[in-house]
């Protein structure tokens, strides 16, 4: 159906190694998904369900999407991603049917993580806002709730979602059996910033004069996305410089030698 064009089914390539910091969260999530998938009989024997709904919240660019993908990869489950705003803008018409299609697709792909990015755009609380009753957002939200409740414990479909605005999420979504695990993904502290630097630079040649730790400590308030950008810029400066050096050498010697200079990242490239 046309609605499914907007959802992408994949097994992500992101691994725990690609994520700097967040060690406790990684461990917790690995257990949540792995125990459920590998030991579902233990839960059903005692008539309890393991939690299958997680809401990541916190400032932008700190690894919420990255985490969801890494869990899918590390736990060998499928990953189905839906962007909140697209649910509303592109799916005019049979919105409820579209939500049903997504959950059907997730069930067929089980074990699977169904990930709602920017959840606040669809799951805004309309309490006290009479104008919005019955709007597309409400219908989508209600259908999501219905699907979550009807999912049943036997299917290993994990619903993960991310938001920067937990304060405006409709509280109905956070009830037990729905997105009942709230996990805060904070801005990285100094130790986590160092870990992110090392993660991002792990495949780049970095000169010994670069003191990653002192740079990381200085960047208080920077997100993982900011640090990634800073490293990528430094790497591009280093590459440009090495190209210029090669061109210079070729001009001077008038030979196009095959000697590649390695674009090493130095302190002054940051």
Q: Which residues bind ligand ATP (CB under 6 A)?
A: 19-22, 60-66, 162, 164, 196, 199, 224-225, 228
Nearest distance, CB of residue 60 and ligand ATP, angstroms? 3
Q: Of all residues in this chain, which one has the CB nearest to ligand ATP in the complex? A: 224
Report, in Å, the least distance between residue 188 CB and ligand ATP. 6
Peptide bond into 10 cis (omega under 30): no
Strand ordering across the sheet containing 181-184? 8-10, 78-83, 112-117, 157-163, 53-57, 181-184
Which residue lies nearer to ligand ATP by CB, 64 or 269?
A: 64
Question: Please, what is the minimum distance in Å from the beta carbon of residue 64 to ligand ATP?
Answer: 3
Q: Which is nearer to ligand ATP, 22 or 151 (CB)?
A: 22
How many whole angstroms separate alpha carbon 155 and alpha carbon 147? 12
Judge contact between 234 and 269, C-beta under 8 A.
Answer: yes
CB-based contact 70:19 (threshold 8 Å): yes
Based on CB atoms, which residue is closest to ligand ATP, 66 or 114? Answer: 66
For ligand ATP, the closer of residues 103 and 116 by Cβ is 116
In the bound complex, what is the minimum distance in angstroms from residue 58's beta carbon to ligand ATP?
A: 7
Q: In whole angstroms, give the CA distance from residue 224 to residue 199.
A: 10
């Amino acid at each position: 159906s046309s609605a499914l064009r907007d959802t992408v089914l994949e097994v992500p390539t992101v691994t725990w190694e690609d994520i700097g910091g967040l060690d406790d969260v990684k461990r917790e999530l690995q257990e949540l998904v792995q125990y459920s998938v590998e030991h579902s009989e233990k839960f059903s024997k005692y008539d309890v369900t393991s939690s299958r709904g997680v809401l990541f919240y916190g400032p932008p660019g700190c690894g919420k999407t990255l985490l969801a993908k890494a869990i899918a990869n590390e736990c060998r489950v499928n990953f189905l991603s839906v962007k909140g705003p697209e649910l509303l803008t592109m799916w005019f018409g049979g919105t409820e049917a579209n939500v049903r299609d997504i959950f059907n697709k997730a069930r067929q792909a089980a074990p699977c993580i169904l990930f709602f990015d920017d959840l606040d755009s669809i799951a805004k609380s309309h309490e006290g806002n009479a104008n919005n009753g019955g709007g597309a957002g409400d219908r989508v939200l209600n259908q999501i709730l219905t699907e979550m409740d009807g999912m049943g414990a036997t299917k290993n479909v994990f619903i993960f979602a991310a938001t920067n605005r937990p304060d405006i999420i409709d509280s109905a979504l956070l009830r037990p059996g729905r997105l009942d695990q709230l996990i805060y993904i904070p801005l990285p502290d100094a130790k986590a910033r160092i870990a992110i630097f090392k993660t991002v630079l792990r495949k780049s040649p970095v000169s010994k004069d670069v003191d990653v730790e002192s740079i990381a400590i200085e960047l208080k308030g920077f997100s993982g996305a900011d640090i990634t950008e800073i490293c990528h810029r430094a790497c591009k400066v280093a590459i440009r410089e090495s190209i210029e050096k090669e061109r210079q050498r070729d001009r001077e010697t008038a030979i196009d030698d095959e000697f590649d200079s390695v674009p090493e990242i130095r302190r002054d490239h940051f």
